[in-house]
């Protein structure tokens, strides 16, 4: 039997598809979730409370172009108001490019993005695919998307070491020698380098987990191994964010790549927050924090909000439970703040979502 709130919500959604309703419910690829955070840099130093509002965008199939349900897709913020979802697969590999307005959470019509539709047609004609479970980064200055690795389905599933460069609605692909094919790795941009960390290659008998760190020069497309084995048994399904900032209020020692979560070759989960500093000598340090930290997990979202200087972690699973929580960590105070979302109206735990957008100004 349909609950009263669901009946009222469906009625409002039918009557006013453009109105935004702030309720807690179960998001999906058709119903993306947007999170607003209320925490200032000053508050982060002296409090352990964080407030979050979950906003469910309303959909109308006659007005919006919603993405098909799939796994292994990736998303990235192209501007302050525009996000893109690409790749992944369900019964077939997806070539779609879907766009979402990050201010109101509405999927946008494909007709507004004819250049991307033309790119999709060219990729289909040339059998050029992005695959799934790849890493994705966006260079805001060059307005370029970089997708590395992942998995392609060509009769059988095969991992890739291809770097796809999407710029001016054109795609170029480069096979990166020196880095074995992999999926469920991470990468992040640093200067003119793409830093690739971990992942695994699905061999015939058992997956081979990588514990290495590589850099790819984006001018020459040549790779350099920075660390052969920073994790003894490798690591995959983790997440990273990059902090590269310098001003009078920010200590340079906080800069670096922050890594959390994932699991290794022996199915042991990583519960440490690591800081990777790349300089004349690469350093991997365990970050000492205060307060209740997230449980070890995989297939979660992690992002960084520059306004509050906070790392944000959402959802995921440890193969025994699916998490319905949200954590923030101020990288200067090192204090964890925790929000449990299951108490809100019909909010369901989730994992294997493609990203968490944080584009609101925090006051």
pLDDT-based confidence at residue 251 (cuts at 50, 70, 90): low
Identify whether the C-beta of residue 311 lies closer than 8 Å to the C-beta of residue 50: no
Q: How confident is the model at residue 348 (pLDDT cuts 50, 70, 90)?
A: low
Separation in Å, CA 223 to CA 13, 230, 258, 334:
50, 17, 21, 34
Q: What is the pLDDT of residues 169-184, one digit of tens each?
A: 999 999 999 999 999 9
pLDDT exceeds 60 at position 319: yes
Q: What is the pLDDT of residues 174-221, one digit of tens each?
A: 999 999 999 999 999 998 999 999 999 987 778 999 999 999 999 999
Q: 3-class DSSP state for residue 112?
A: helix
Calculate mean pLDDT across residues 229-244.
94
Reported as a pLDDT band with limits 50, 70 and 90, residue 353 is low
Share in percent of the chain as helix, strand, coil (round to 5): 10, 40, 50
pLDDT of residue 362: 31
Report which secondary-structure segment, H or E, holds 12.
helix 4-15
Closest CA to 211 of 163, 174, 266, 136: 266
d(CA 337, CA 358): 16
Paired tokens of 214: 């590589």
pLDDT of residue 249: 57
Q: Is the pLDDT at 280 greater than 70, yes or no?
A: yes
Query: Cα separation of 268 and 212, whole Å?
Result: 17
Nearest to 189 by CA among 151, 146, 150: 146
């Amino acid at each position: 039997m349909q609950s009263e709130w669901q009946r009222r919500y469906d009625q409002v959604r039918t009557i006013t598809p453009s109105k935004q309703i702030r309720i807690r419910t179960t998001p999906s690829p058709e119903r993306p979730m947007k999170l607003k955070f209320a925490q200032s840099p000053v508050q982060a130093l002296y409090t352990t409370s964080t407030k979050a509002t979950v906003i469910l965008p309303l959909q109308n199939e006659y007005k919006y172009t919603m993405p098909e349900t799939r796994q292994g897709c990736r998303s990235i913020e192209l501007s302050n108001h525009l996000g893109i979802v690409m790749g992944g697969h369900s019964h077939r590999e997806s070539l779609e490019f879907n766009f979402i307005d990050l201010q109101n959470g509405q999927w946008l019509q494909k007709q507004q993005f004819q250049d991307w539709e033309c790119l999709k047609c060219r990729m289909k004609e040339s059998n050029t695919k992005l695959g799934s479970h790849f890493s994705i980064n966006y260079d805001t200055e060059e307005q370029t998307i970089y997708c590395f690795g992942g998995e392609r389905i060509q009769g059988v599933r095969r991992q890739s070491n291809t770097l796809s460069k999407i710029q001016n609605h054109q795609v170029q692909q480069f096979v990166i020698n020196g880095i074995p094919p992999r999926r469920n790795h991470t990468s992040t941009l640093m200067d003119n380098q793409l830093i690739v960390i971990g992942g695994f290659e699905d061999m015939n008998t058992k997956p081979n987990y990588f514990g290495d760190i590589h850099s790819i020069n984006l001018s020459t497309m040549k790779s350099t191994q920075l660390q052969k084995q920073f994790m003894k048994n490798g690591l995959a399904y983790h997440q990273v964010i990059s902090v590269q900032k310098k001003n009078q209020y920010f200590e340079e020692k906080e800069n670096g790549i922050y890594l959390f979560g994932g699991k290794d070759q022996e199915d042991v989960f990583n519960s440490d927050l690591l800081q990777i500093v790349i300089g004349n000598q690469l350093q991997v340090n365990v970050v000492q924090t205060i307060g209740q930290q997230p449980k070890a997990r995989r297939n979660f979202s992690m992002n960084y909000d520059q306004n509050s200087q906070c790392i944000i972690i959402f959802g995921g699973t440890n193969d025994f439970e699916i998490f319905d929580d949200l954590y923030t960590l101020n990288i200067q105070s090192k204090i964890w703040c925790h929000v449990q979302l299951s108490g809100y109206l019909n909010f369901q735990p989730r994992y294997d979502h493609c990203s968490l957008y944080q584009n609101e100004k925090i006051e």
